[in-house]
Amino acid sequence: MNSQNRYYYLLGTIVAIGISAYLFIFPNFETAEFDAEVVENISKGVTTTVVSNENNEEINEETAGSEDIDLEKENPSTVNKFLVNSTAEKDIENFTVYLLIGSDERSENSSESRGYVDGERADVIILGLVNDISDEKHLISIPRDVLISNPCTKEITRINSTYNKNSCGNKAENLAASIKVLTGININHFASFNFEGFEKIIDSFNGVEICVDQTQREGFSFELQKGCQTVSGATALNWVVSRNTEVLVGEKVIDSSGNDKSEWVKMEGVSDLSRNERQQYIILQLLNGVRDFKSLNELNVFINALEDAFIIDENLTVNKAVNLLWGFRGEDISSIKQHSIPVENYVLADGRQVLIMTENFSKFATSIGILEN
């Protein structure tokens, strides 16, 4: 083989390897429409959009109204606080914003300890804000039970129920519009995952480290020992969504038959707010895990695990998503500021528990430095 032929052979081999690597590294993510104009129109009460059903989402005009709340039956002072604080006074600018949605949709075969759920709600709602000028980063959790005025149906309901496809827009567009009304924040991109996806993401990292200051459990779904331990995706999921966490009192006692005779008491303060803290904890642990990727093979395994774990908006290319994640390799994770919107518990006249904003988000945004006076 002469030198010219060797050159073309080598060049062809490099191109073939490059194409194969590209096809292997970048999977075919499921995408969904996410139209900023549609979101803006919904947030303003303009709902002239005709929604296609190319993603086979179930269109349900009644779901959003199934939990509607009649304000005439509620405490007048609480109603006034809700009306004042449920619509942001100002828009938030100069940030690129990512909406992370964790839905409670699962199949009959997933998460056996949690069981099958018919229907879908947004169980995790987290905003990732990146300042376009300073690159400062914020995570803001929105509790699923916070009360809002649904901009599509004009009904009063929990924000998680607006993650619903109807004549106004698709699920992500409707939720983003509700967030815009509540916070004044424009969503640029979104990624959603269900419970099975959550488990797969964590398992792709070979687990996630969870550190707790008390031994704790919920039934047979998980048990964490005091200190730090690496757990599977299923255990991490059960910990994150737990509403009935118990803590160990004193030393663990196991009888001669292997039965646990220890004293366990319900953990104080377990609520949507503590669940939000756990969600952010896991996200930061996973971002920290990105720093550990040292080879192309490790990256391949991770990205291929994400292929069927996430749905991303059609404007968030795989290349953008990978670059965003890879950028965290040099990031000091502790510099990411964590927040949860200011809320308080409220028991409705019919006994249901919800959360209401204690101050307008614009005031809160000013206090955390994402909005100028």
Helix/strand/coil for 337 = strand
369 within 8 A of 354, measured Cβ to Cβ: no
260: DSSP letter:
B
Domain ranges for the chain, please list them: 32-201+309-367
What DSSP element (H or E) covers 323? helix 318-326
pLDDT tens, the chain, 373 aa long: 565 555 544 544 444 334 334 433 445 678 889 999 999 999 998 765 444 444 445 444 444 335 678 888 999 999 999 999 999 999 999 999 999 999 886 555 544 444 434 456 899 999 999 999 998 999 999 999 999 999 998 899 999 999 988 889 999 999 999 999 999 999 999 999 888 889 988 998 889 999 999 999 998 899 999 999 999 999 999 999 898 899 999 999 999 988 889 999 999 877 788 889 999 999 999 888 877 777 656 666 666 667 778 888 988 876 777 777 777 777 788 899 999 999 999 999 999 999 999 999 999 999 999 998 8
Six token digits for residue 11: 């060049």
How much of the chain is in helix, strand and coil states, percent to nearest 5? Answer: 35, 25, 40
198 within 8 A of 164, measured Cβ to Cβ: no
CA atoms of 40 and 186, how far apart (whole Å): 8
What is the torsional sign of CA 15, 16, 19, 20?
A: negative
191 within 8 A of 101, measured Cβ to Cβ: yes
* 24: number of Cβ within 10 Å: 12
Angle (CA) 36-37-41 rounded to 5° is: 120
Indicate the fold that domain 32-201+309-367 takes in CATH. Answer: Nucleotidyltransferase; domain 5 (3.30.420)
CA atoms of 267 and 223, how far apart (whole Å): 13
